[in-house]
Amino acid sequence: MRQHLGPTLPSSEITPQRLYLARREFLGASVGALATAAFSANAFAASLAAKPGPFRAEDKPTAKEAVTTYNNFYEFGVEKDDPAKNAGTLRTSPWSIVVEGACDRPGTYALEDLYKPAELEERVYRHRCVEAWSMVVPWIGVPLASVLQKVGATSNAKYVAFETLYDKEQMPGQSRRVLEWPYREGLRIDEAMHPLTLLAVGLYGETLPNQNGAPVRLVVPWKYGFKGIKSIVRIKLQDSQPRTAWNVSAPSEYGFYSNVNPDVDHPRWSQKTERRIGEFRRRETLPFNGYGEQVAELYAGMDLRRNF
Amino acid sequence: MTKRIRDRVIYAVVWLACAAPLLFLVYWGLNDQLGANPITTGLRFLGLWGLRFLVAGLAITPLRGWFGWNFLQRYRRTIGLWGFAYVALHLLTYIGVDQFFDWNTILKDVLKRPYITFGMLGFVLLIPLAVTSTNAMVRRLGGRRWRQLHKLAYVIAPLGVLHYDLLVKADTTWPWMYAAILAVLLGWRVWQVRTRRAATRPVSA
């Protein structure tokens, strides 16, 4: 297993702290720079303290520049650089999340009320996109399990359904029906409660940039990236398997589980290898994205070709 | 300016316009301006320009028919050959950079992945057109046979669009735009043939 438990270097030492501070000083000193920054999606990223958490992949983290400029977030356009260009229209504060369904304390929660700042952990996860590219990201967040315990998920909660914000003003990409909006995702309850499953609010020592799913997103490192629903406004605990956006769009190509699996190809392309962003040669894709030791037992006895 | 010099200047401009995307790609590549995933970005860029030039080549005869722009004819070969060049570079990038000469995987891709099968078929069909593009080859084949052979372009361009459409994840707007343009360009040809046949049909009975 290419990872180990326990505290190691926080990402503030991966990327020199001085660099961040210097940038901040520069921004603070220059009115012009501030004015420019107001138009960039990243303008309000604030530093975010977090204790080093478990599950830190030993892989070298992908450059922050790449993590924040190359991703899919169709709510802001279908090209990889669209989110970074267009996500400035998203207003992330205040932010509330509706929690409903099979739980003892349903209601509308302010994001801040779902976790305590002291609970925030940094975790370095491999991220594998279904398009056969990958990254390594130092996320900051809390285990989804802690939030589900807080709202008192009951035994009727067999699945968790998530929804992204649906607002064409803030998310211009939703004016075109590329997918069924709002974006929906879901997990089986044991997947949702698994210690690896993270509700992320930051990356690289700062609050999430808008383009990466601010202010709160899901990170499920053993599944393809699209399972990591962004800008979450609704969490529903239910007893039936939820609809998920890509499955609705192309059921033969994107299953509910979507576990990273080099042996089950996408119907149109191979999933055997991936290009790690920043590397030249492709690398082999690992079953469950290298997290098999932690999660394979969740799927014991299941046919993963049928349940792709 | 004599006509000869003017023609040469125009030809140079057309040639440079065809080379421009490649020059930009090289410039961006050398200056690290292709984004976080330069290999995929470059691969897509070359493929897209290949398709654009192939479609542009097929637009010339209809444009002559609609607007009488007969002067375009003399640039058709240049445009078509540049289309071939971009497609060839696209393929070489896939083989040598994207897959790093992993012949086993490439062979499987060609046999198993319809989008790669169609793309590869399109490239193979382009080869005889590129080879027979010289004046000497036109003379050797004779105009009639040469024209028959080059009708392969009517199959190759749609294969390119299909190749493009099949790799897009959800938003197929652009592939459909190219498909629509091709439908007009090829549909016009069908309509031409029909009306010509109707005009030459013997009036009897």
Average pLDDT score over residue span A249-253: 95
For residue range A181-225, list pLDDT tens digits in order: 999 999 999 999 999 999 999 999 999 999 999 999 999 999 999
Cis peptide bond upstream of A267, omega within 30: no
Q: Where are the domains of chain B?
A: 3-190
Note whether A269 contacts B: Cβ–Cβ < 8 A: yes
**Between chains, do A176 and B166 touch, taking CB under 8 Å as contact?**
no
Residue of B40, B108, B170 lying closest to A178 (CB–CB): B170
For residue range A14-36, list pLDDT tens digits in order: 554 544 445 444 444 444 444 44
> What type of residue is B85?
A
**In this predicted model, which residue has the larger pLDDT, A10 or A160?**
A160
Q: Reply yes or no on whether the pLDDT at B94 is more than 50.
A: yes
Note whether B30 contacts A: Cβ–Cβ < 8 A: no
Q: How far is A278 from chain B (nearest CA, A)?
A: 7
Q: What is the pLDDT of residue A107?
A: 98
Cβ contacts of A269 on chain B, cutoff 8 Å: 113, 115, 167
Cβ contacts of B114 on chain A, cutoff 8 Å: 268
Please report, rounded to a whole number, the percentage of residues in chain B having pLDDT higher than 90: 91
Q: What is the pLDDT of residue B85?
A: 98
- H-type helices in chain A, by residue range? 11-14, 17-29, 31-37, 64-69, 82-86, 144-150, 189-193, 245-249, 292-295
Produce one character per residue of A225-238: b if its CB has 16 or more CB atoms within 10 Å, e if not. bbbbbbbbbbbbbb
Q: What is the pLDDT of residue B198?
A: 84
Q: Reply yes or no on whether the pLDDT at A40 is more than 70.
A: no
Output the CATH code of domain A3-299.
3.90.420.10
Best of B105, B115, B171, B174 to disrupt the A interface (most A CBs within 10 Å) is B171
Q: What is the pLDDT of residue A8?
A: 52
Average pLDDT score over residue span B74-89: 97
Q: What is the pLDDT of residue A30?
A: 43
For residue range A83-93, list pLDDT tens digits in order: 999 999 999 99
Q: Where are the domains of chain A?
A: 3-299
For residue range B132-168, list pLDDT tens digits in order: 999 999 999 999 999 999 999 999 999 999 999 999 9
Q: Is the ipTM of this complex over 0.85?
A: yes
Task: Look at strands A184-188 and A206-207 and give their pairing.
Answer: unpaired
